[in-house]
Chains A and B, each alone.
Chain A
Amino acid sequence: MLTIMILLPIAAAFGVLLAGGRAGGAGAKLARYVALGVTLVELALGVALWVGFDSANPGFQYRERLPLFDPWFAWSLGIDGIALVLIALTVFLMPLCILASWESIHKRVPEYMAAFLLMESLMIGVFAATDLFLFYIFFEGGLIPMYLIIGIWGGARRIYASYKFFLFTLLGSVLMLLAMLWMARAAGTTDIPTLLTHDFPSGVQTWLWLAFFASFAVKMPMWPVHTWLPDAHVEAPTAGSVILAGVLLKMGGYGFIRFSLPMFPEASVDLVWIVWALSMVAVVYTSLVALVQADMKKLIAYSSVAHMAFVTAGLFAFNRQGLEGAMIQMLSHGLVSGALFLCVGVVYDRMHTREIARYGGLAETMPRYALFFFLFTLGSVGLPGTSGFVGEFLSLSGAFQASSWLVLLMTTGLITGAAYMLYLYRRVIFGAVTNPDAATMPDLSAREYAVLAPLGLAVLYMGIHPNPIIDPIRAPVGRVLARLEAAGPPRERIERARAAAVRQAEAALTPVAEARAETNR
C-alpha cells in the first residue's frame, strides 16, 4: 500500500514528462489533468490508509520490508500515528497545489507537474520510511525537485534563493548522515523501530543529537538558520510555497519526534536549553521582523518561523500536552500557512505584485476572498474555534509545565502574531481602494473556491473537534514519553542541569567577584 503510494506519483511523473514533451500545448493540458487525477488517487489512498489504521496500536503498521539493497539499506516502510497524520496532510495539500497552479503556470507545464508529483512521492517516503538510510534518501531527494521548482518557476531572485535553499539544507543534512553511519554501526541495524528501543551511550548521545539537530533545525527552520526560508518562500511559485510551508517544514518537526526525542532521550533533556533559547529568540525576533515586512509572502514566511518555534517548544516540553500540541500545531500550520500562501497567490495572479502597499480595500471588490482570508488570518492568530488555537494552546500549556519563563516569552509571540496578521489584513482588505488595478479585480473563481474551501473547512473542523486527529497520535506520543521517562524523569534532569549550571557560573564568577571586592576596598 505504501509502496504504491510512493511509486504511483513517480510513474506518473515520468509519463507526464514523456507525453508532455511531444504534444506541445495539448501536453500541458494533459499534464494538468494527469497530475490532478494522480494526486486525487493519492488522496483516496490516504483516506483508505487512515480508515484501515488501528489507533490503539502504538507500533508501526502497514509494514513492508524488502532487503534488496544489503548492506546499504532496506526498502522498509511502515507508519505510526504521527506519520499517518503527516501523510494525510501531504496528500490533502497536493491536489490543492495542482489546482492552484492550474492557470498561473504557463511555461514548461509538464515538467512542473512532474516535479510536484516527484515531490509528493518523496514526502510520503520521508514519513513512511522505517529504514534509517531510506529515510535519508527521501529526506535529501526532496531537495532536487524543490531546487528546480524554485529555480525554474520562481520570481526575480530565484537563482539566489534556490542555491541558498539547497546548500543550507544540504549542509545540515550531511552531518546527520555521519551520525546515522555511527548509529548503524553501534546498533548493528538500520531499522528504525529497532533503533527506537536502542540505548546509545549517554556521552555519544550529545554528539548524535547535535548532528541531527543541525539537520532538523535548518529544515524546521529555527533561528538563526532560518534565513533560507523567507528567500525561498518569496521566490517560489505559490504552490511551491504551499509545499514548503505545508509539508517540508514539517520534516524538521517529524525528525525531532521520530529521532531526537526517542533515540537520544538523555541528550534531548540535557540540551533542552538550546532549543528553548532558540525558540524564544525565534518567536520574539521573527514576529517583530514580520511586523515590518512590505511583502506579503515574506511576512507569512517569518510568521512560519515563529509558529514553528511553538512546535519546538511544545516538543521539548517532554509531556503529553506539549507533544500532542506540537503535532496539532504542525498540522494546523500546514493548513493555515498553506492557505495564506494560496490567498496571496490568488491576488498575485491578478495583480502580479506581492507588495502590501499596492493593495487595499479588497473587501469591497472581493468580499468572498476577504472572508476566506479572514478565516485563515484568525487561524494564524490562533483564535479559539480554529485549528491554530488548539495547537498553540496545547503546546504552550505543555511548555508551561516545563518552564514558565519559556512560556512567558512565547506568549508575547501570540500578541505580536495577532498584531502583524491583523495589520496585514487591515492593509490589504480594508481601507480605501487606492490602486485602480485593484478595483477591477474579479472575486474568487470556481477553481479558487475549490482550493480554499476544503482548507477553510479543515481549519474549522480541527479547531472545533480535534479529537479524531489526536486519536492516532496518542499512542505513539505515549511511546516517546515512555522513552524519555526511562532515561530519567525530564523534570529532575532539567533541575539538576540547571543547578549544575548555576554552580558552574558561580564558580566561574567567584574570582571576578573577589577581584571586584579587592578593587572596591
Chain B
Amino acid sequence: MSLPPNIALTAPELIIGLSALLLLVTAVFRGDRSLAAVSWSSVVVLLGAGPAMLGQPERAFAYGGLFAADRFAQFLKVTIYASAAVSIILAVPALRRTAQGRFEYPILILLSVLGMSLMASAADLLTLYIGLELQSLALYVLAAFQRSDTRSSEAGLKYFLLGALSSGIMLFGISLVYGFAGTTQFAAVHTALGGHALALGALVGLVFTMVGLAFKVSAVPFHMWTPDVYEGAPTPVVAFFAAVPKVAAMGLFTRLLLEAFGGAQDRWQAIVAFMSVGSMFLGAVGAIGQTSFKRLMAYSSINNVGFALIGLAVGGAAGAASVLFYMAIYVVMTIGAFLAILDLRDPDGRQIEDIASLAGLNARHPGLAAALAFIMFSLAGIPPLLGFFPKLAVFRAAMDAGLYPLAILGVVASVVGAYYYLRIVKTMYFDEPRTAFGPRLSTVNGALLLASTAALSPLGWLALSPLFAAAQVAAGTLFPR
C-alpha cells in the first residue's frame, strides 16, 4: 500500500486532527462521564502519531513546499507528543476531583498539539501563522478552563488579548517580509533576502515577526503575561503551558531564523542575544520574591528560555542542536516539577500552590520531597543531575562560537537562578512542618514522577549521547548541503 506523498508526510497531523474531531463527536454524546475514556484515547492517539513518522525521508516537502517533514520536525514532534501525552495523564485526577471533569480538556490539548505539529513542520510563513494560531486558540481556552474561577477567566482573557496583539504584530511583520522578498516560503525568502544587506522594510518585518515569536516563548521583553497567566490557569494546564508550547515555539523560532533569515544572522544575533540575557536575568531575579509556586515556575520558564536562546544566538547547526537538546531535557524537568506539585493537597483536597506550604514536606512525604528536590537541583543546573547538561550544551555552543560575554552572563545568571530553586529545597527540608498534607492520590502520577526523577538522576546520563546525536542530526537537516 502506498499513500500519496502529501498524506504520508502529514500522517501524524492527519491522525491527530481526525481523532480529535472523532473524539469530540463521541464525547458530546456521553458528556463529562467520558473524561477518562477520552483522555486515555487521546494518549493513545498521541503515542500512535509518533510511529506514523517512521519511514519518512530525511527531508521532504509536502503541499507544494508549505510543509516540511524533516528530522528537525521529527525531533520536535516526538518531544511534543510524548510530553503532551504525559500532560493529559497527569491532569486526569485533578480534573476529576475539582468537579470540572470536562471532556474537552484532552481534546483541546490534541488540537493545540496539532497546531504545534504544524509549527514544527512549517516551511512557509503562512503555515507558521496557521499553526501558531491553532495552538494559541486552544491554549486561550485551556487557560480559562476553570470557568467558575475568576482568576482562571482573567488568565484566559489576558492571554487572549496579549496573544492577539502579538499575532497581529507578527502578521504585519510577515506581510512586510512578503513584500520585500516576494515569497512566503522559508527557503525562497532566504535566497531573496540573503547575500546582500537587508532592506530596511525587510528588517522591520523580521523584527516584527520575531516579536510575535518572542511573545510565544515568553522571552523578555514580551514576558509580562507569563506569571499572571500561569498563576490564574488551573495547575494541570500550567504544567502543559510551561513545557510543551515552549518546545514548539522555540523550535519554530529556530527554524524561522536559521532557514528563512539565516543570511541575516548579523542583524538578528544581537536581538536574540539581548532577549536571552534579559530573560535569563529577569527570570532569575524575578523568581526570588515569588510566594506562589506557579508564578515561580513562570519565572523559571522565562529563565530557561533565556538559556535556550543562547543556543539560538549562536546559530548554525551547533547552536540549533543545543536548543533542541535544551528543550528536550527542559520538558522533562518542568513536567516532573508539576507532577510533584499536583500531588500535593491540603487535608480538604485543595491544591497547594504556596511555596510556604511546602514547609516540612520531607517529614510527611519523604519520597515526594526527594523527587522535587532532585528536580529543583536539576533545574538549577547542578551536576551530576541531568539539568546540568543542557546548560553545558548552550554554553559550549556559545564558547565555541566565541560569544564569551554571552556565556559569562549566562553562568552568572545560572548562579542567581540557583538561589530560588534552593529556596524550595530549603523550605521542604530545613523548615519545620506547618501545614498538614492530604494523602497522595494518584499512583499513575506517582509512577510518572518516579520515572522523570530517575531520568534526571545520573541514570539519565545514558541517554545523553543518543539524545544529543539525535539533536545534531535534526539540526543538520536545517542546513542541506
Contact = CB atoms under 8 A, between A and B. Distances in A.
Interface of A: 17, 21, 68-72, 133, 136-138, 140-141, 143-144, 147-148, 151-152, 158-159, 162-163, 166-167, 170-171, 174-175, 177-178, 181-182, 184-185
Contacts of A175: 408, 411
Contact of A166 (B408, B411, B418): B418
A69 to B, nearest CB: 5
B383 interface: yes
Contacts of B370: 17
B293 to A, nearest CB: 19
A138 B385 CA distance: 11
B8 interface: no
A174 B399 contact: no
A182 B399 contact: yes
Contact of B414 (A21, A158, A166, A174): A174
A171 B361 CA distance: 29
B430 A159 contact: yes
Nearest to A171: B415
Contacts of A136: 383
A69 B418 contact: no
B418 A68 contact: no
Contacts of B465: 68-72
A162 B388 contact: no
Given A69-B461, A71-B468, A185-B399, A178 B408 contact: yes
Contacts of A178: 395, 399, 404, 407-408, 411
Contacts of B408: 175, 178
Interface centre among B395, B412, B426 (most CB of A within 10 A): B426
A72 B396 CA distance: 10
A167 B418 contact: yes
Contacts of B412: 171, 174
A181 B384 contact: no
Interface in B358-386: 366, 370, 377, 382-384
A149 to B, nearest CB: 11
B429 A181 contact: no
A175 B408 CA distance: 7
Interface in B380-402: 382-384, 388-389, 392, 395-396, 399-400
A140 B382 contact: yes
B369 to A, nearest CB: 10
B464 A72 contact: yes
Given A69-B464, A141-B383, A166 B395 contact: no
Contacts of B389: 72
Interface magnitude class on chain B:
20 to 34
B382 A68 contact: no
A141 B429 contact: no
Given A163-B419, A167-B418, A141 B395 contact: no
Given A141-B383, A151-B426, A178-B404, 13 more contacts: A69-B465, A72-B389, A137-B383, A140-B383, A148-B429, A151-B430, A159-B430, A162-B430, A167-B415, A167-B419, A170-B418, A174-B411, A181-B396
A143 B426 CA distance: 14
30 contacts: A21-B366, A72-B392, A133-B392, A136-B383, A140-B388, A144-B382, A148-B429, A151-B430, A152-B429, A152-B430, A159-B426, A163-B426, A166-B422, A167-B415, A167-B418, A167-B422, A170-B418, A171-B412, A174-B411, A174-B415, A177-B392, A177-B395, A177-B411, A178-B407, A178-B411, A181-B395, A181-B407, A182-B399, A185-B396, A185-B399
Interface centre among B382, B407, B425 (most CB of A within 10 A): B382
Contacts, number: 86
Contacts of A68: 461-462, 465
A151 B428 CA distance: 11
Contacts of B383: 136-137, 140-141
Interface centre among A151, A159, A177, A181 (most CB of B within 10 A): A177
Interface centre among B411, B412, B419 (most CB of A within 10 A): B411
A83 B167 CA distance: 59
A181 B389 CA distance: 12
Closest 3 CB pairs of A and B: A174-B411, A137-B383, A181-B399
A202 B388 CA distance: 30
Given A141-B383, A141-B384, A143-B382, A158 B430 contact: yes
B362 to A, nearest CB: 8
Contacts of B414: 174
Nearest to A21: B366
A137 B418 CA distance: 16
Contact of B400 (A162, A170, A185): A185
Contacts of B407: 178, 181
A329 B448 CA distance: 50
Contacts of A182: 399
A162 B366 CA distance: 21
Interface string B405-434: 001100110110011001001100110000
A68 B384 CA distance: 15
A72 to B, nearest CB: 6
Interface centre among A143, A159, A170, A174 (most CB of B within 10 A): A174
A403 B375 CA distance: 50
A483 to B, nearest CB: 25
A141 B382 contact: yes
Contacts of B366: 21
Interface centre among B383, B414, B425 (most CB of A within 10 A): B383
B396 to A, nearest CB: 5
B478 to A, nearest CB: 19
Interface centre among B384, B389, B400 (most CB of A within 10 A): B384
Interface in B459-474: 461-462, 464-465, 468
Nearest to A107: B363
Nearest to A125: B384
Contacts of B382: 140-141, 143-144, 170
A70 B395 CA distance: 17
Contacts of A177: 392, 395, 411
Nearest to B380: A170
Contacts of A148: 425, 429
A133 B377 CA distance: 18
Contacts of B388: 137, 140
A31 to B, nearest CB: 14
A372 B388 CA distance: 45
Nearest to A141: B384
Contacts of B404: 178
A232 to B, nearest CB: 15
A151 B377 CA distance: 15
A159 B429 CA distance: 11
B464 to A, nearest CB: 5
A163 B411 CA distance: 18
Contacts of B419: 163, 167
Given A137-B383, A141-B384, A177-B395, A170 B430 contact: no
Contact of A144 (B377, B399, B461, B462): B377
Nearest to B419: A167
A21 B369 CA distance: 13
A141 B399 CA distance: 23
B13 to A, nearest CB: 33
A158 B426 CA distance: 11
Contacts of A167: 415, 418-419, 422
A385 B253 CA distance: 69
Nearest to B423: A163
A21 B370 CA distance: 12
B374 to A, nearest CB: 10
A137 B386 CA distance: 11
A125 B430 CA distance: 28
A137 B388 CA distance: 9
Contacts of A184: 396
A72 B384 CA distance: 13
Contacts of A166: 418, 422
Nearest to A10: B458
